[in-house]
C-alpha cells in the first residue's frame, strides 16, 4: 500500500515537470499558432548557463539562468519568428525546427558534445520523510512553483492591461490590432514569459538531473508537446492538466509494467496518448478560441 | 476545329511539370555523381533516397494538409523488412539465431525485398489508418508522432525479430543501393506521386485540404480519401526506408527517428508543402546546400581563393539557409505551386495548370488568424 | 512566372560550384625521400554528438605516432595519420572512409563503436586494409565484419568481469538497473544478468531510459527491497546514468554501484560531488597514479601534450594501442602488405599493449579473456582498485 502511495506522489512530481514545460509551449501557441520546438533549446541554454556561471549564490544563479533564457527567447522571436508572422503553421513549425537545430549544433561547437555534470542546490535533493513515504524537497518545490506560475500567469492575463491584450490577440489578432493592440509588444512579451518559464524549468531540471548536454532540450520539449496537445491546445490550464495526466500515465507504466515488457514502456505510454486523443480530439480542456463551427 | 489542338495543348500543360521534374532530377544526379569523389557519390545516393522519402511524405501531407510526424516510422518498417529478406540465410543464422522460421528462411533479391518493404509498411499504415484518420490538425500531428515512438520502441525491444537495439547487420554488398537504383526509384516515386495527385481521389483530397467543410458539404468523404493517401504514403516511405537500410548495410532504429523526420519535413516545407514540384525542389535544394557547405567546411581552394576549414559549418549553415528561405518565401521555394507552363506573352494573364493550387489559405487551426504584416 | 525556373538554374549553379569545390579539395599525399610514410586512415566523428568519444581516440593515436616516429619509425618509415570528419552522420561514414582509403592508406583506426565504426571497418575490409579499434558489440570483428578487422575490447566480457569482481568482494544480491536506450547498455545489463545467473540470484531489477529525468519510481522500488540488496549494477552510461547515480545517492542509498565503460572519465562527476563507492569497469586512472606502467605512460603523455587529463580512459588507450599493435605486426611481418600484417596480428598472444594483454587468433579477432581495470572515484580524481579477468565459466555466448 505504501508503495502505491509513494508511486502516486511520484506521478504527481513527474507531472509537474511536464506541466512547467507545457506552459511555455501553450502560451506561445495560444498567441501565435506556433508550436515552438526551440523551447527545448531555451531550457538547454538556461541549463548551460548554470554550469558556466560557476557557484555564486543561488539568487544570482537563478537570475542569470532566467535572464539568458529570456534573451535567447526574445532574439529567437525577433530574428526568426517576427519575419514569419502570418505564415502557415507548417512554415512556423519548420522554422522552429531550424532554430532548434541551429542552437543545438552551436552548443556542440562551442561547448563540445560531452555531457557536463554540475550540482545545484543540493538541499533540494533531500527528502521529507513522512512515515515510510519519501517526498523530495525538489518535488514539493516543483509543484509549488508550477502552481504559483499558473496562478500568476492567470492573474497577468486576466487583470493586467498587457495580459488582456495578449488574450485578445489570441482570440482575434486582426480585431485586436484594429483596436490598438501592438502586435510586436504582445508577442515579444509572450516570448519573454516563455523564456522565464524555460529558465525556471532549466533550474529545476538541473537540480534534479545534475547533467547538461546539447540535446537535453529535445526530450523536455517533446513531452511538453504531448502534454499541451493532450490538455487542449491554447489553454494554459489544459497544458498543466495534460502534464499531470501524461505524467501519471508514464509513471504508472513505469511502476506497474512487468519486467518482461519494461522496455516497451514508451510504446504503451504513447498508445495511451492516442487513445486519449481518439476519445477527446480537442484535448481535455477546450480553450474557447479553438471551437470550430462544424 | 480549334477544340482538338486546344485539348491537346491543355493535356500537355497538365503533365508539363512531370517531365521537367524528372529531367531535373536526372541531370542533377548525373552532374553531381560525375564531378564528385567518394563522399559526394555517397551523398548523391542519400539525396535520391531522401527525395523518395520526401515524395512519400508529400503524398499524404501535401495532398491532405495534415501534418505527419510519424511517416519515418514506415520507412523504418520498410528498412527492417527489406533487410530481413535480403540478408542471406547463413548470415541470418549466425547473427540472428532467434528469428522465427519463416523469416529465417525467406529470401528475396534487392528489388523484391524493397517492394516487400513498401508492402509491409503499407499494411502497417492501413492498420493504423482507421483510428488515426479520424483526427484533425494538431491532434493528428501528435497521434502520428506517437506512432513514430511506438514503432521505434517496438523495433528496439522486439529482440527476436529485429535484434533489438543492436539492429540489423549483414546486408550483403551486392544489395547496397547504387546510384542508379536510388535514381530509378526516385523517378518512379515522382511519377507515382504525380499520377496520384491527378486522380479524382487526389483532387478531392486536395479540395478538402483547402476547405474541409466545403469539401464535406459536396459529399467528399474526407476520411476515406485521407486513409488512401496515408496508405499510399506508407508504401512510398517503406520503399525509401528499404533503400536507405540497404545503403547503410547495417542499421538500427536510431537511423529512422527524429533527425530524419525533421530533415524530410523541412525539405518538404522549404520546397513548398502543397506541390509535388515543391517536394522535389525542396529535397534537391537542401541536399545540394548541405553537401556544398560540407565541402567548404573542410577548407577549400576555389581558384586563387583559399577558404579555411570551419568544422560544424554544414549544420549551422543549413539551419540559417532554411530559415532564410522560409523568411523570403514563406510558402516554400515553389510557393506551393507546380512548375508552371512558361508564359509566352508577359501581359499579366495568369496561366493556371491543372493540378496546381489556387491562392492558398491554409485552414487556420483556430478561429483567429494571424496577419501577415508587422504590427 | 520565372521564379521556379530561376530556382532550377540556381540549383544547377550550386551543383557547378560543387564541382569547382570538388576540384580544389583533394590533396595529393607527399612522398618523402627517406621513408615513404605508412599511412593510417582515421575516419572519425570530429564534429557532432559522437565527437566527444573520437577526439581522445585520435589524440592517443597521434601521441603514439609521434613517439614511434621519433625513434625512427617502423622499417625505417614514419607513420602518418590522415583523418576526416564523419560528422556523427551514419549516411556519410562509408563515403568518408572510402575517400581516405583512396588516398593510399595502409591501415585504419575507425571510430570506437560498432554502429559508427562498422561502416569504416567494412570499407577497409573490402580493400584488404587492416583495421584495429574497439567495440562492446561482438559483431565488431571477424565474423561480423571481416578478416581485416581486429577488436581490442573484450566484447561480451565487460559484464562478466563486473560479476566476477563483485562476487569476489563477497557481494551476493544485486539490484540491476537496465537502460535499454542503446545497444551497449542494454547488452551490458543483459550480459550481467546472464553471468550473474551462473553465480547466484538477482534481488531486483528495473528499467529506465537514459533521457528520463527522474528515476523516483525505481528508487522507491529499490528502497522497498530494504537490505535484501547489497550492491547495485548499473547497465547505463552518462548522462542518464549519472543522473540515476545522483538520485540514488540523494535518496540516502549508499550501496556500492558498479558501472561500465559508459561511466569512463570524470566529466560527469559534477552531478554527484564526492561520489563514493562507485566502481567503473574499463578505462584507466586518467588523473594520474595508475599502477599499470603502460597505461600511466599514455595518460602522462596526453597530459604533457594537451595540458589536461585525458577525458576518456578507454578511447585514449584505443588509438594509442592500435598504433603500437600495427607497429609490432609490421615489424614482424617485415612488410606493410595487408595479408601479411593480419597474419601477424592473428599471432598476438597476451601481447602486452597499454590497453591490455591482447590475444587474437585466426578464428577470433576479439580478445575475450583479457582483463579490464576497475577504477573508483575519490573527489574529482580516479583511483585504481583492481585488474580483473572474467571467469570463463560465466561468459555469455558471443560470435567468437
Looking at residue C215, its pLDDT comes to 92
Domain count, chain C: 2
Q: Give the span between the Cα atoms of A247 and A238, in whole angstroms.
A: 14
Q: Are residues C128 and C240 in the same domain?
A: no
> Which of the pair, B301 or C264, is modelled with greater confidence?
C264
A64: which 3 cell numbers? 542569470
Q: Are residues C281 and C167 in the same domain?
A: yes
Query: Do B312 and A108 make contact, defined as CB atoms within 8 angstroms?
Result: yes
> Which of C17, C27, C115 has the most B C-beta neighbours within 10 Å, making it the best mutation to test the interface with B?
C115
> Which of A13, A48, A211 has the most C C-beta neighbours within 10 Å, making it the best mutation to test the interface with C?
A211
From chain B, the residues in CB contact with C181 under 8 A are 165
Percentage of residues in chain A having pLDDT higher than 90? 55
Bridge partner list, C84: C43
- Asked whether residue C25 carries a pLDDT value surpassing 70, the answer given is no
CB-based burial, A22-45: b 16+ in 10 Å, e otherwise = bbbbbbbbbbbbbbbbbbbbbbbb
pLDDT tens digits for range B94-135: 899 999 999 999 999 999 999 999 999 999 999 999 899 888
Percentage of residues in chain B having pLDDT higher than 70? 90
Nearest beta carbon to residue A94 from set B141, B266, B316: B266
Q: Give the span between the Cα atoms of C36 and C31, in whole angstroms.
A: 6
- Asked whether residue C19 carries a pLDDT value surpassing 60, the answer given is no
Range in B216-220, B252-256, B328-332 with the lowest mean pLDDT: B216-220
Residue B289, chain C, CB below 8 Å: the answer is: yes
- Asked whether residue C220 carries a pLDDT value surpassing 50, the answer given is yes
Q: Give the span between the Cα atoms of C384 and C291, in whole angstroms.
A: 7
Looking at residue C165, its pLDDT comes to 97
pLDDT tens digits for range A79-124: 999 999 888 889 999 999 999 999 999 999 999 999 999 998 888 8
Q: Are residues C314 and C270 in the same domain?
A: no
Nearest beta carbon to residue C22 from set B37, B42, B314: B37
Residue B144 phi/psi, 5-degree rounding, is -70, -35
Residue B367: which pLDDT band, with cuts at 50, 70 and 90? very low
Sign of CA dihedral B340, B343, B346, B350: negative
Looking at residue A2, its pLDDT comes to 74
Looking at residue C10, its pLDDT comes to 56
- Which three-class secondary structure state does DSSP give residue C276? coil
Query: Do C187 and B166 make contact, defined as CB atoms within 8 angstroms?
Result: yes
Q: Give the span between the Cα atoms of A174 and A172, in whole angstroms.
A: 6
Q: Give the span between the Cα atoms of B281 and B270, in whole angstroms.
A: 9
- Asked whether residue A294 carries a pLDDT value surpassing 50, the answer given is no
From chain B, the residues in CB contact with A270 under 8 A are 145-147, 149-150, 153
- For the residues A257-273, what does the mean pLDDT come to? 93
Nearest beta carbon to residue C52 from set A114, A136, A208: A114
pLDDT tens digits for range B204-215: 888 888 887 788
Pairing state between β C356-358 and B305-307? unpaired
ipTM: 0.92
pLDDT tens digits for range A113-163: 999 999 988 888 888 888 878 888 888 898 899 889 989 998 998 899 888
Distances (CA, A) of C39 to C80, C81, C103, C117: 5, 6, 9, 18
Q: Are residues C257 and C118 in the same domain?
A: no
Contact (Cβ atoms closer than 8 angstroms) between residue B119 and residue B238? yes
Is C10 within a domain?
A: no
Query: Do C1 and B343 make contact, defined as CB atoms within 8 angstroms?
Result: yes
**Per residue, what are the HEC states of C238-265?**
CCHHHHHHHHHHHCCCCCCEEECHHHCC
- Asked whether residue C400 carries a pLDDT value surpassing 70, the answer given is yes
pLDDT tens digits for range C338-382: 999 999 999 999 999 999 999 999 999 999 999 999 999 999 999
Q: Give the span between the Cα atoms of C188 and C156, in whole angstroms.
A: 8
| Non-local CB neighbours of B357 within 8 Å, separated by 6+ positions | B206, B210, B274, B275, B336, B337
- Asked whether residue C20 carries a pLDDT value surpassing 50, the answer given is no
From chain C, the residues in CB contact with A255 under 8 A are 217, 220-221
From chain B, the residues in CB contact with C9 under 8 A are none
Q: Give the span between the Cα atoms of A57 and A63, in whole angstroms.
A: 10
Is C8 within a domain?
A: no
Looking at residue B239, its pLDDT comes to 98
Q: Give the span between the Cα atoms of B298 and C47, in whole angstroms.
A: 11
Q: Are residues C186 and C276 in the same domain?
A: yes
CB-based burial, B83-114: b 16+ in 10 Å, e otherwise = bbbbbeeeebeebbeebeeeebebebebeebb
Is C230 within a domain?
A: yes
Residue C76, chain B, CB below 8 Å: the answer is: no
Pairing state between β C231-235 and C204-207? unpaired
pLDDT tens digits for range B161-202: 999 999 999 899 899 999 999 999 999 999 999 999 999 889
- Asked whether residue A204 carries a pLDDT value surpassing 60, the answer given is yes
Q: Are residues C268 and C200 in the same domain?
A: yes
50-69 of B, contacting C, C-beta below 8 A? none
Number of other CB atoms surrounding residue B329 within 10 Å: 19
Smallest CA–CA distance from A204 into chain C, residue: C213
Q: Give the span between the Cα atoms of B346 and A95, in whole angstroms.
A: 34
Q: Exposed, middle or buried, C13 (CB in 10 Å: 0-12/13-18/19+)?
A: exposed
Give the domain ranges of chain B.
17-255
Looking at residue B361, its pLDDT comes to 38
pLDDT tens digits for range B38-78: 899 999 999 999 999 999 999 999 999 999 999 999 999 99
Q: Which domains does chain A have, with CATH numbers?
A: 2-290 (1.10.3470)
The kind and range of the H/E element at C381 are: strand C381-388
Q: Are residues C125 and C45 in the same domain?
A: yes
pLDDT tens digits for range A42-74: 999 999 999 999 888 889 999 999 999 999 999
From chain B, the residues in CB contact with C127 under 8 A are none
Is C197 within a domain?
A: yes
Is C23 within a domain?
A: no
Average pLDDT of chain C to the nearest whole number: 91
B261: which 3 cell numbers? 523526420
The distance between the two most distant Cα atoms of chain C, rounded to a whole number of Å, is 81
Q: pTM for the complete prediction? A: 0.90
Pairing state between β C131-133 and C149-151? parallel
Residue A292, chain B, CB below 8 Å: the answer is: yes
Range in A136-145, B301-310, C295-304 with the lowest mean pLDDT: B301-310
Number of other CB atoms surrounding residue B27 within 10 Å: 14
Q: Give the span between the Cα atoms of A241 and A16, in whole angstroms.
A: 9
Q: Exposed, middle or buried, C369 (CB in 10 Å: 0-12/13-18/19+)?
A: middle
106-145 of C, contacting B, C-beta below 8 A? 115, 118-119, 122, 126, 137, 139, 143-144
Is C324 within a domain?
A: yes
- Which three-class secondary structure state does DSSP give residue B127? helix
Is C32 within a domain?
A: no
Q: What is the CATH number of the domain that holds C236?
A: 3.40.50.2300
pLDDT tens digits for range C26-61: 444 444 436 899 999 999 999 998 899 999 999 999
Looking at residue B217, its pLDDT comes to 83
Range in A56-65, B237-246, C124-133, C353-362 with the lowest mean pLDDT: A56-65
Q: Are residues C107 and C67 in the same domain?
A: yes
Contact (Cβ atoms closer than 8 angstroms) between residue C186 and residue C179? yes
Is C222 within a domain?
A: yes
Looking at residue A287, its pLDDT comes to 63
**Per residue, what are the HEC states of B6-46?**
HHHHHHHHHHCHHHHHHHHHHHHHHHHHHHCCHHHHHHHHH
Average pLDDT of chain B to the nearest whole number: 87
Smallest CA–CA distance from A124 into chain C, residue: C250
> Which of C271, C274, C286 has the most A C-beta neighbours within 10 Å, making it the best mutation to test the interface with A?
C271
- Asked whether residue C280 carries a pLDDT value surpassing 70, the answer given is yes
179-238 of B, contacting C, C-beta below 8 A? none
Average pLDDT of chain A to the nearest whole number: 89
Q: Give the span between the Cα atoms of A288 and C368, in whole angstroms.
A: 65
Q: Give the span between the Cα atoms of C95 and B233, in whole angstroms.
A: 30
- Asked whether residue B143 carries a pLDDT value surpassing 70, the answer given is yes
Closest CA to C364 of C128, C156, C151, C112: C151
- In this structure, what is the dihedral angle of CA atoms B350, B353, B359, B360, given to the nearest 10 degrees? -160
| Non-local CB neighbours of B199 within 8 Å, separated by 6+ positions | none
Q: Give the span between the Cα atoms of C361 and C142, in whole angstroms.
A: 10
Q: Are residues C361 and C382 in the same domain?
A: no
Query: Do C267 and A114 make contact, defined as CB atoms within 8 angstroms?
Result: yes
For residue C343, the enclosing domain spans 38-155+293-370
Q: Are residues C191 and C278 in the same domain?
A: yes
Size of interface A-C (CB pairs under 8 A): 122
Looking at residue B306, its pLDDT comes to 73
Contact (Cβ atoms closer than 8 angstroms) between residue B238 and residue B77? yes
Q: Give the span between the Cα atoms of A111 and A100, in whole angstroms.
A: 16
Amino acid at each position: 500500500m505504501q508503495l502505491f502511495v509513494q508511486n502516486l506522489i511520484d506521478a504527481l512530481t513527474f507531472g509537474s515537470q511536464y506541466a512547467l514545460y507545457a506552459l511555455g509551449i501553450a502560451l506561445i501557441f495560444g498567441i501565435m499558432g506556433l508550436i515552438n520546438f526551440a523551447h527545448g533549446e531555451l531550457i538547454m541554454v538556461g541549463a548551460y548557463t548554470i554550469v558556466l556561471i560557476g557557484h555564486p549564490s543561488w539568487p544570482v544563479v537563478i537570475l542569470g539562468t532566467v535572464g539568458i533564457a529570456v534573451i535567447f527567447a526574445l532574439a529567437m522571436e525577433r530574428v526568426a519568428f517576427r519575419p514569419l508572422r502570418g505564415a502557415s503553421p507548417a512554415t512556423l513549425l519548420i522554422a522552429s525546427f531550424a532554430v532548434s537545430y541551429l542552437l543545438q549544433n552551436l552548443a556542440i561547437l562551442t561547448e563540445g558534445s560531452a555531457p557536463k555534470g554540475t550540482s545545484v542546490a543540493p538541499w533540494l535533493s533531500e527528502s521529507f520523510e513522512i512515515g515510510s513515504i519519501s517526498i523530495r524537497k525538489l518535488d514539493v518545490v516543483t509543484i509549488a512553483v508550477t502552481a504559483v506560475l499558473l496562478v500568476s500567469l492567470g492573474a497577468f492575463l486576466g487583470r493586467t492591461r498587457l495580459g488582456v491584450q495578449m488574450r485578445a490577440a489570441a482570440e482575434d489578432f486582426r480585431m485586436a490590432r484594429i483596436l490598438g493592440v501592438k502586435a510586436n509588444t504582445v508577442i515579444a512579451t509572450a516570448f519573454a514569459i516563455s523564456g522565464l518559464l524555460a529558465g525556471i524549468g532549466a533550474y529545476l531540471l538541473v537540480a534534479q538531473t545534475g547533467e547538461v548536454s546539447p540535446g537535453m532540450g529535445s526530450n523536455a520539449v517533446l513531452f511538453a508537446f504531448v502534454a499541451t496537445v493532450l490538455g487542449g491546445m491554447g489553454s494554459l490550464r489544459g497544458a498543466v492538466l495534460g502534464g499531470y495526466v501524461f505524467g501519471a500515465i508514464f509513471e504508472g507504466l513505469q511502476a506497474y509494467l512487468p519486467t518482461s515488457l519494461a522496455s516497451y514502456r514508451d510504446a504503451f505510454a504513447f498508445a495511451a496518448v492516442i487513445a486519449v486523443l481518439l476519445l477527446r480530439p480537442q484535448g481535455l480542456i477546450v480553450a474557447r478560441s479553438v471551437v470550430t463551427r462544424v | 476545329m480549334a477544340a482538338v489542338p486546344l485539348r491537346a495543348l491543355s493535356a500537355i500543360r497538365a503533365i508539363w511539370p512531370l517531365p521537367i521534374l524528372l529531367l531535373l532530377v536526372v541531370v542533377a544526379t548525373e552532374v553531381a555523381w560525375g564531378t564528385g569523389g567518394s563522399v559526394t557519390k555517397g551523398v548523391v545516393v542519400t539525396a535520391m533516397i531522401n527525395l523518395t522519402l520526401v515524395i512519400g511524405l508529400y503524398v499524404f501531407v501535401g495532398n491532405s494538409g495534415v501534418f505527419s510526424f510519424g511517416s519515418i516510422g514506415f520507412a523504418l518498417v520498410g528498412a527492417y523488412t527489406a533487410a530481413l529478406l535480403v540478408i542471406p540465410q547463413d548470415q541470418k543464422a549466425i547473427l540472428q539465431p532467434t528469428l522465427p522460421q519463416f523469416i529465417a528462411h525467406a529470401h528475396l533479391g534487392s528489388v523484391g525485398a524493397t517492394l516487400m518493404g513498401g508492402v509491409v509498411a503499407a499494411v502497417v499504415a492501413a492498420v493504423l489508418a482507421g483510428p488515426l484518420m479520424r483526427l484533425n490538425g494538431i491532434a493528428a500531428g501528435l497521434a502520428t508522432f506517437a506512432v513514430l515512438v511506438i514503432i521505434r520502441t517496438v523495433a528496439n525491444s522486439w529482440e527476436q525479430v529485429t535484434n533489438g537495439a543492436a539492429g540489423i547487420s549483414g546486408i550483403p554488398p551486392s544489395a547496397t543501393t547504387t546510384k542508379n537504383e536510388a535514381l530509378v526509384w526516385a523517378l518512379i516515386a515522382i511519377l507515382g506521386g504525380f499520377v496520384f495527385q491527378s486522380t479524382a481521389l487526389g483532387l478531392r483530397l486536395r479540395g478538402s485540404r483547402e476547405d474541409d467543410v466545403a469539401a464535406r458539404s459536396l459529399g467528399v468523404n474526407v476520411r476515406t480519401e485521407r486513409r488512401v493517401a496515408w496508405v499510399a504514403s506508407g508504401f512510398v516511405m517503406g520503399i525509401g526506408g528499404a533503400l536507405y537500410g540497404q545503403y547503410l548495410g547495417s542499421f538500427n532504429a536510431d537511423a529512422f527517428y527524429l533527425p530524419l523526420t525533421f530533415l524530410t519535413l523541412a525539405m518538404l516545407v522549404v520546397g513548398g508543402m502543397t506541390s509535388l514540384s515543391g517536394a522535389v525542389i525542396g529535397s534537391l535544394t537542401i541536399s545540394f546546400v548541405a553537401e556544398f557547405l560540407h565541402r567548404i567546411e573542410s577548407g577549400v581552394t576555389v581558384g586563387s581563393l583559399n577558404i579555411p576549414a570551419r568544422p560544424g559549418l554544414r549544420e549551422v549553415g543549413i539551419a540559417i539557409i532554411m530559415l532564410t528561405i522560409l523568411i523570403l518565401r514563406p510558402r516554400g521555394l515553389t510557393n506551393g505551386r507546380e512548375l508552371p507552363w512558361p508564359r509566352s506573352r508577359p501581359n499579366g494573364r495568369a496561366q493556371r495548370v491543372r493540378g496546381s493550387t489556387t491562392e492558398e489559405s491554409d485552414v487556420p487551426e483556430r478561429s483567429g488568424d494571424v496577419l501577415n504584416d508587422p504590427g | 512566372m520565372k521564379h521556379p525556373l530561376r530556382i532550377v538554374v540556381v540549383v544547377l549553379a550550386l551543383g557547378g560550384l560543387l564541382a569547382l569545390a570538388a576540384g580544389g579539395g583533394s590533396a595529393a599525399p607527399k612522398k618523402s625521400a627517406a621513408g615513404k610514410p605508412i599511412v593510417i586512415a582515421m575516419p572519425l566523428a570530429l564534429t557532432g554528438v559522437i565527437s566527444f568519444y573520437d577526439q581522445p581516440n585520435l589524440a592517443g593515436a597521434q601521441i603514439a605516432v609521434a613517439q614511434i616516429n621519433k625513434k625512427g619509425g617502423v622499417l625505417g618509415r614514419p607513420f602518418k595519420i590522415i583523418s576526416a570528419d564523419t560528422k556523427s552522420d551514419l549516411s556519410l561514414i562509408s563515403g568518408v572512409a572510402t575517400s581516405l582509403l583512396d588516398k593510399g592508406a595502409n591501415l585504419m583506426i575507425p571510430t570506437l563503436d560498432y554502429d559508427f565504426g562498422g561502416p569504416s571497418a567494412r570499407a577497409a575490409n573490402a580493400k584488404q586494409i587492416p583495421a584495429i579499434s574497439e567495440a562492446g558489440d561482438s559483431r565488431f570483428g571477424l565474423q561480423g565484419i571481416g578478416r581485416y578487422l581486429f577488436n581490442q575490447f573484450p566484447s561480451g566480457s565487460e559484464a562478466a568481469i563486473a560479476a566476477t569482481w563483485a562476487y569476489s568482494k563477497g557481494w551476493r544480491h544485486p539490484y540491476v538497473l537496465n537502460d535499454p536506450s542503446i545497444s551497449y547498455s542494454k547488452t551490458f545489463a543483459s550480459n550481467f544478468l546472464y553471468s550473474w545467473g551462473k553465480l547466484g540470484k538477482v534481488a531486483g531489477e528495473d528499467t529506465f531510459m537514459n533521457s528520463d529525468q527522474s528515476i523516483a519510481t525505481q528508487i522507491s522500488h529499490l528502497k522497498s527491497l530494504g537490505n535484501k540488496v547489497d550492491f547495485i549494477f548499473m547497465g547505463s552510461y552518462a548522462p542518464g546514468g549519472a543522473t540515476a547515480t545522483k538520485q540514488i545517492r540523494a535518496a540516502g542509498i549508499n550501496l556500492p554501484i558498479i558501472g561500465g565503460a559508459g561511466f569512463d572519465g570524470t566529466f560527469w562527476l559534477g552531478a554527484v560531488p564526492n561520489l563514493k563507492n562507485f566502481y567503473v569497469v574499463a578505462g584507466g586512472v586518467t588523473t594520474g597514479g595508475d599502477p599499470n606502467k603502460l597505461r600511466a605512460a599514455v595518460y602522462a603523455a596526453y597530459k604533457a601534450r594537451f595540458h589536461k587529463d585525458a577525458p576518456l580512459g578507454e578511447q585514449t588507450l584505443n588509438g594509442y594501442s592500435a598504433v603500437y599493435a600495427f607497429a609490432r605486426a609490421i615489424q614482424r611481418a617485415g612488410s606493410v602488405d595487408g595479408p601479411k600484417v593480419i597474419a601477424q596480428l592473428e599471432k598476438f598472444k597476451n601481447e602486452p599493449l597499454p590497453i591490455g594483454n591482447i590475444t587474437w587468433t585466426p578464428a577470433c579477432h576479439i580478445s575475450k579473456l583479457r582483463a579490464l581495470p576497475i577504477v573508483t572515484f575519490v573527489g574529482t580524481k580516479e583511483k585504481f582498485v583492481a585488474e580483473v579477468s572474467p571467469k570463463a565459466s560465466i561468459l555469455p555466448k558471443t560470435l567468437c
